Amino acid sequence: MGRVEVEVQGTWGTLCASRWDLLDAHVLCHHLGCGFAVSVPEGGHFGRGTGPVWSDSFHCEGTESSLDQCSVTALGASPCSHETDAAVICSGPPHNASLRLVGGGSRCDGRVEIFQRGTWGRVLDDQWDMEDASVVCRQLRCGEAEAAYTVPRAERGTGPVGLRGVRCAGHEASLSLCNTSLPEATGIMEDVGAVCQGSRQVRLVDGAGRCAGRVEIYYRGQWGTVCDDAWDTADANVVCRQLSCGWAVEAAGSARFGEGSGHIWLDGVNCSGDETALWNCSAEAWGQHDCGHKEDAGVVCSGVCWEPGTGRPGG
C-alpha cells in the first residue's frame, strides 16, 4: 500500500487521484506481485510526494500485466497538486489457499485457480454450482456470484490440480474450507469458473475516442449492448460519469455508432442521473427486451472536465 509513483525518462513523479481508479490499481498491484487492489484511497492518503505530478490518465481494463500495457491519455498540464496524489491498497502477495480467476474479462470472472504449496493449481469439479461460486466471489471481494460454469474445452487449464470435488454450503469464508474429494464425487471432473458481480463493466466503442460511442456492458462474462427505448441525457450522464468522461453532450439512438452484436443486455433504462453505474438504474430485467441492434444506444461525453483550482472532476 502507498502513494503511486511512476518513473518517466529517469524522473519519478506522482499521479492525480481523480484520474486513477480500481482497475488501474489492480494492474499495478498485480505487476508488483502484491495481489489485487482492495481500495483506492482518497488523494493524498499516504502523504505528499515530490517532483512532478504526471498528466497521464491510465485506462486499464484490469487484465493487463503492467501499466504500460494500458491505454493512456495525455491531458496536457496537470491541474493536480501533491495534495491529491493517487494511492492504492493491495491485498498482499498470494498466500496458501489464495484464489484467482483467469481468462475472463476482469479479475472477477474466469476459470478458478487456487494457490497451494507455492504454485497455482486448477479447481476441478463434477457438480459445480452457485454455492461454490458464491464462496469464490466473496473470498475475492468481487460481490455476489452471477454465474457458475464448467469451462469450455478450449479454455481448460493445463497445470497441476489444486482442488477436486468441491462441495460448498455457500457460507464458507474461503474455498479451502469447503468439503473436497467426497466419495460421491464420481462424475467427470472438469475445470470450473465463476462470474461475480464485480466483473461488470461499461465501455463506449466505435466512436471518436474512449468518451464517445455505442454503449456496451460486460455482464456474465459477455459484452452486450443497450436498447435506445427511453434512452435520454440522464441515462447518458451516468455512463459518462462512470467512465470519468465528464457529462453527456448527446444521448444517441438508432445505432448512431453502428450496430453491435451478441446480447442486448438492457432495455427501458430510466436513470435519475445520480446513479454510480448504469446497471443501478431502473430497467427491464437483464436480457429482456423487444429491440434489435438497429436500436443500440450511444453516448457522446464532454471528456474529462476539471473544476478550476481543485484538481477534481467537474460536472
pLDDT of residue 186: 52
Residues 6+ apart with CB under 8 A from 19: 56, 57, 58, 75, 80, 86, 244, 304
User: Per-residue pLDDT averaged across 282-299, rounded?
Assistant: 95
Backbone angles phi, psi at 311, to 5 degrees: 70, 15
Dig out the grid coordinates for 20 from the structure: 486513477
CA–CA dist 308, 125 (Å, integer): 56
pLDDT digits (tens, 9 = 90+) for 42-94: 877 888 888 888 877 888 888 788 888 888 877 555 567 888 888 999 877 66
State the distance between the two ends of the chain, measured CA to CA, in whole angstroms: 30
CA-to-CA distance for 301 and 214, rounded, in angstroms?
12
Is the pTM value of this prediction over 0.75?
no
Place of cell 429482456: 288
- What size, in residues, is the chain? 315
